[in-house]
Amino acid sequence: MPDPDLICEVQTEGGTYRDWVQVQVEQNFMNEGWIRSFRLVCAEPSAVATMRLKPGDRVDIALAGQVVIQQGYIRDRQAVFDANRHAVQVTGYGKAGLITEASINGGTGQYRGYKLDAIANSVLKPYGLTFRVQNGSDGWDMPFPNVMVRYGETPFDLISRLCKQRNLFFYADAAGNVVAGPKSGSSMVAFVEGQNILTANCQLRHLAVESLVSNSQQPGSDSLFGKAASEIQAKATVKGGTPGAMRKVLAEMPLDQKGTQLRTNWEAAVLQSMALQLQLTYQGWLKPGVGGLWDPSDGVTVKSSMLFPTESATETLKVAGYSYQQDANAGTTTTLDLINTLAWQQRKGDATKNDGFYDLGNAPAQPEAAT
């Protein structure tokens, strides 16, 4: 009897499919893969003959009995055959894929005095999706004085633009709803060299800049004018960077002082994600020793003297993305993309202890006088 932990089950209105020779389901908040995508290949002649999946079909996908994509869409179908082989490949994405394709209803719009979650839920409502923030940075819920929807902007484009201004990364859950901010309370998964790691590839990078400076401005008024309106800056320092080296960032939209600090913190978090990048593969789909499927920002510890040139040889990291795979050669595996914890969250302003050897310790951005 097949091991239920190795079964990929696809349910549609037309039936249930399990005869796959290749499976890949992935998500990564650092790129367009935040929406959850899939690629499935069926090659058995008897199964191919009954394969009725086609572009536009809605699908629920479960791995090891746990739903990873709910009400997703098949985007492409490719069928090939010759005298000896028959195969059908279907690819697609979760329900949130729609918000990357279609423009916001009406093409334009304006929101005065609305918070991020209210604006995001407004543009997601036509698609039956929602937006929520978990463990957001202090100040994420400040209202935006004036948000203009740019012509042709998709819901994804707008949400992405606004999340940058509030120091938030986001991803889609299994149902396609958009979640911003890191998880809390999830069980820590331990990986140890020689025990439960099949392969690993770790890149450590020296961060070139010592500081980040963001600049913004606001519309002038009788009570706000001069440099207070036109030259708003915030600065974040990054320990370990080259002394004197600075990166300057121009905010994508008008921001006040607090908003400029949040925008700077987001840029610092992106920089942190480049300092340590670890790709790790293990056997199976479920979390080792814990069970369940992965979400971005889940926590792991990795112990490996080969990967980390430190005394403890151990790092605490966060999941940026995952790829569930299955084929005849490699079997059933999961590959995780892991990054620094500070790529998800800034340490408190009074923190002095380094969170890890490559957790380089950028403190929250502070107001900076324009120069």
> pLDDT at position 47, please?
62
Q: Give one word for 230, left, alpha or beta, with left for phi > 0 and alpha for psi -120 to 50.
A: alpha
Rounded to whole angstroms, the Cα distance separating 91 from 39 reads: 4
- Among 135, 153, 180, the domain-final residue is 180
Q: What is the dihedral of CA 154, 338, 295, 55, to 10 degrees?
A: 50
> pLDDT at position 355, please?
38
> pLDDT at position 357, please?
42
Rounded to whole angstroms, the Cα distance separating 212 from 222 reads: 31
As beta bridge partners, residue 190 has: 301
CATH code (residue 152): 3.55.50.10
Count how many domains the chain has: 3
> pLDDT at position 46, please?
60
β-bridge pairing 242-250 and 209-216: parallel
Q: Are residues 176 and 198 in the same domain?
A: no
Q: Are residues 191 and 282 in the same domain?
A: yes
Rounded to whole angstroms, the Cα distance separating 197 from 308 reads: 15
CATH code (residue 85): 2.30.300.10
User: What type of residue sits at position 175?
Assistant: A
Q: Is residue 99 part of a domain?
A: no
Q: Tell me which residue range forms the domain holding 152.
A: 109-180
Q: Are residues 277 and 138 in the same domain?
A: no
Contacting residues for 255 by C-beta, under 8 A, at least 6 apart: 165, 216, 218, 232, 263
Q: Are residues 244 and 265 in the same domain?
A: yes
* Alpha-helical segments (H) within 183-313: 227-230, 257-275
Burial of 132 (0-12, 13-18, 19+ CB in 10 A): middle
> pLDDT at position 224, please?
53
- Among 93, 125, 150, the domain-final residue is 93
> pLDDT at position 33, please?
61
Q: Is residue 138 part of a domain?
A: yes
Q: Are residues 173 and 195 in the same domain?
A: no
Rounded to whole angstroms, the Cα distance separating 224 from 227 reads: 9
Q: Is residue 45 part of a domain?
A: yes
Q: Are residues 191 and 174 in the same domain?
A: no
Task: Please state, as a whole number, how many other Cβ atoms lie within 10 Å of the Cβ of residue 225.
Answer: 11
Do residues 180 and 163 lie in contact, with contact meaning Cβ atoms separated by under 8 Å? yes
Do residues 352 and 338 lie in contact, with contact meaning Cβ atoms separated by under 8 Å? no
Q: Are residues 272 and 297 in the same domain?
A: yes
User: What type of residue sits at position 192?
Assistant: V
> pLDDT at position 275, please?
87
Separate counts of helices (H) and strands (E) for the chain: 5, 22
- Among 180, 201, 225, the domain-final residue is 180
Question: For each of the chain's 371 residues, which pLDDT tens digit applies?
Answer: 578 889 999 999 888 998 899 999 999 988 766 899 999 998 766 665 677 889 999 999 999 999 999 999 999 999 888 888 888 899 999 999 999 999 998 767 899 999 999 999 999 999 999 999 999 989 999 999 999 999 999 999 999 999 999 999 999 999 999 999 998 877 899 999 999 999 999 999 888 888 888 888 666 554 554 555 557 888 988 777 888 899 999 888 888 889 999 999 999 888 888 889 999 999 999 999 999 999 999 999 999 999 999 899 999 999 999 999 999 888 999 999 999 887 765 444 333 333 344 444 455 677 665 55
As given in the structure block, the two tokens for residue 44 are 């058995």
